[in-house]
Amino acid sequence: MRYFIELSYNGKSYHGWQIQPHDISVQEVIENGLSTILGSKIAIMGAGRTDTGVHATQMFAHFDSDLIFKEKELVFKLNSFLPVDIAIHSIFKVKPEVHARFKALSRTYVYKVNIKKNAFTTDTSYYVKKVLDIDKMNEGAEVLFQYKDFQCFSKSNTDVKTYNCEIMKARWYYKDDELHFEIQANRFLRNMVRAIVGTMINIGIGKIEVADLHSIIKSKNRSEAGFSVPAHALYLTKIEYPEDIKL
């Protein structure tokens, strides 16, 4: 049987989602927990690979097992076993061909920018001292819909077959004393969201113009785009799948 796990995690203490040779990852901790509880080696496949320090309010992963167990009981046992910064929300059966990564239709990220100094949000948002022009930043976000190739926002030396991504949503909005950037796409390149946000902040402070974004994207050169904002304010918030994946 193939099972999906729906979970969330605070990425502060982890070197990203994917298992690393010498560093602790979210995937490794969950695999160890499942294997211990079920008494059998369990490998999981995540819907994405968040970088070091990035959080997820919604993540999915799948695993295969012929063992007999009750899903709700496994959720309870796994939450009791795992550290407080990883939470399991549900485990459910899916069709055998459903892959957590390749079957996903879209992923949504939110980046949180604090525009007012707050001692209690230093670990959850990125404080920008300068005044940001949200209207210009949203004009910049609109430009993204005109393109598919986002190599200029990709981390250098990334081994991918294509830099094409279909962006479905990109917008800035106020939430209390924060500016949030929400972006939805069918796939993301490594460091893509953080590079986009850094470039948008440069637009917001007047360092570059909205019109410059066209030449930046067309350049396909990472050095032409803006700085990469810190990881601690980035959240994977939603992953969408076809409605018929469950058994």
Contact 51, 39 (CB under 8 A): no
Q: How far is CA 20 from CA 15, 28, 229, in A?
A: 8, 8, 23
Give CA–CA dist 158/181, Å, rounded: 24
Active site residue 51: yes
Is residue 191 left, alpha or beta, with left meaning phi > 0 and alpha meaning psi from -120 to 50? left
Residue of 23, 51, 135, 159 with catalytic role: 51
Catalytic residues: 51
